[in-house]
Amino acid sequence: MPRLFSTTSVSQAGYKMKSHSGAKKRWRSLASGNSFKRARAGHSHLNVHKSPARKNRLAQTAYSTDAQTHKLKKLLLPYGSN
């Protein structure tokens, strides 16, 4: 399996890798480290015209798919996603 991170030290490379700001604000890793979860958007305001079923659906936690997990691990490296 290919490595998802660089083995070069910061002092040798001269720069630090950056975590993706948008991803780290939205996603949290699960305890297993193999998946991520996030809250659904559109649940906090302007709810008067939304049906109760829609509001309940928006209140549920969303989990990452396999493809999303693969991308998120790259975006949130090298410092994790806690």
Query: What are the C-alpha distances in Å from 36 to residues 60, 61, 65, 73?
Result: 14, 10, 9, 9
pLDDT band at 74 (very low <50, low <70, confident <90, very high): confident
Q: What's the mean pLDDT in 59-74? A: 93
Domain ranges of the chain: 22-76
> What dotted CATH number matches 22-76?
4.10.410.60
pTM of the model: 0.70
Collapse the DSSP code of 46 into the 3-class scheme (helix H, G, I; strand E, B; otherwise coil) and give the result.
coil
Collapse the DSSP code of 59 into the 3-class scheme (helix H, G, I; strand E, B; otherwise coil) and give the result.
helix
Collapse the DSSP code of 12 into the 3-class scheme (helix H, G, I; strand E, B; otherwise coil) and give the result.
helix
Quick one: pLDDT at residue 80? 59
Quick one: pLDDT at residue 13? 73
